[in-house]
């Protein structure tokens, strides 16, 4: 609770700094989030968990601050996002604590932690993708930045279902490959006449399908019905995406 409150105030503080120093303050917030999260979870952290368990609590506040910066200057909308962030950060800290404990012994709340971690990973990815696309950078820059933002999110999300002492080669391969696929989609979107919201949602939806299938595969629960459900979501999103495209 203390960590989520401090970081909520930190997110607010980044928006009150001078615009020339705002991105610097967001970077400081990321380091602060990592430090506070490591302090809160210190007793259960060991080895690779200093990366896998703490990377999402560090990136999540950064992504919210970047997205918060792009919101219209309306008091209610900003307060709403701030409250949602605080609740999400508190849930995330509980989730990462469960992962740390579950890496040592069996715990009944692990399935719920997987669901929360999966959701916050997608929310974080959306904020990052939205920020990247809003910069209106060249196609190659969009692709590289989306790839770079996706790699740590995917690796930690896949590790959370393995909970191994080291990041496996399989985890690294899947994480890099899936991030590369999302990065290539971002490259295509650079030439596609869609709004920021639609483009970001499309990337996150494809991430949802790819990560969901991969996690089920890692858990050895990849049944035909599960695969078809994820693929159906991907097809529906793709068809909807094509329909909402404004070709002019």
pLDDT in tens, 37-84: 999 888 777 888 888 889 999 999 999 999 888 877 777 777 888 888
Does pTM top 0.85 for this prediction?
Answer: yes
Cα gap 63→121, rounded to integer Å: 11
Look at the chain and report how many structural domains it folds into: 1
Q: What is the mean pLDDT of residues 205-227?
A: 89
**Total number of residues shown for the chain:** 248
pLDDT in tens, 18-35: 777 888 899 999 999 999
Domain with 146 in it: 2-244
Q: Are 10 and 61 in contact (CB under 8 A)?
A: yes
Provide the 10 A C-beta neighbour count for residue 101.
18
Cα gap 51→141, rounded to integer Å: 26
pLDDT over 70, % of the chain: 97
Cα gap 151→124, rounded to integer Å: 13
The half-sphere exposure of 138 on its side-chain side, counting CA atoms within 13 A, is: 2
Question: How many degrees, rounded to 5, is the angle at CA 165 between CA 55 and CA 216?
Answer: 75
Closest by CA to 167, choosing from 194, 175, 44, 199, is 175
């Amino acid at each position: 609770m203390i960590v989520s409150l401090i970081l909520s105030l930190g997110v607010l503080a980044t928006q009150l700094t001078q615009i020339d120093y705002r991105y610097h303050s967001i970077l400081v917030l990321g380091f602060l989030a990592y430090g506070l999260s490591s302090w809160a979870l210190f007793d259960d952290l060991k080895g690779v968990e200093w990366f896998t368990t703490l990377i999402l609590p560090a990136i999540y506040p950064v992504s919210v601050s970047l997205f918060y910066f792009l919101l219209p200057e309306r008091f209610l909308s900003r307060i709403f996002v701030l409250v949602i962030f605080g609740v999400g950060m508190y849930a995330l800290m509980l989730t990462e604590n469960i992962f740390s404990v579950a890496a040592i012994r069996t715990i009944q709340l692990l399935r719920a932690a997987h669901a929360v971690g999966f959701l916050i990973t997608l929310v974080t990815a959306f904020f990052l993708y939205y920020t990247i696309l809003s910069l209106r950078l060249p196609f190659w820059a969009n692709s590289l930045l989306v790839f770079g933002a996706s790699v740590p999110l995917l690796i930690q999300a896949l590790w959370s279902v393995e909970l191994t002492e080291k990041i496996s080669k399989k985890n690294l391969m899947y994480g890099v490959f899936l991030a590369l696929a999302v990065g290539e989609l971002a490259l295509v979107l650079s030439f596609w006449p869609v709004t920021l919201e639609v483009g970001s949602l499309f990337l996150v939806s494809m991430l949802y399908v790819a990560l969901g299938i991969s996690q089920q595969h890692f858990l050895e629960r990849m049944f035909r019905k599960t695969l078809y459900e994820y693929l159906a979501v991907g097809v529906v999103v793709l068809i909807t995406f094509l329909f909402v495209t404004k070709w002019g």
